[in-house]
Amino acid sequence: MKSEAVLRVEAMDALIAHLGKVDAERFITIVKSDMFNYTEWRRGLWKNKSIDDIHNAATEYTAANS
């Protein structure tokens, strides 16, 4: 298991790579100020999707971004 420090650095690097510095910082600010509950958000994220729908979306995303 990675230390919290390593995880934070890797996560921030991933956010910056995908969103850019400004939007990565905006995202962190939103999550911190919004009393964002990641667990609750994840529970509803794929609520109306089958495993096949999720798999197909992931496959399409991978193909488009490889």
How many Cβ atoms from other residues are within 10 Å of residue 41's Cβ? 10
Domain count, the chain: 1
pLDDT in tens, 15-65: 999 999 999 999 998 888 877 788 888 888 888 999 999 999 999 999 998
What separation, in Å, do the N-terminal and C-terminal C-alpha atoms of the chain show?
Answer: 27
pLDDT of residue 36: 75
At a CB cut-off of 8 Å and minimum separation 6, what does 54 contact?
Answer: 46
- Domain with 47, as residue range(s), is 4-64
Segments of 1-66 assigned E as strands: none
Max Cα separation, the chain? 36
pTM across the whole model: 0.53
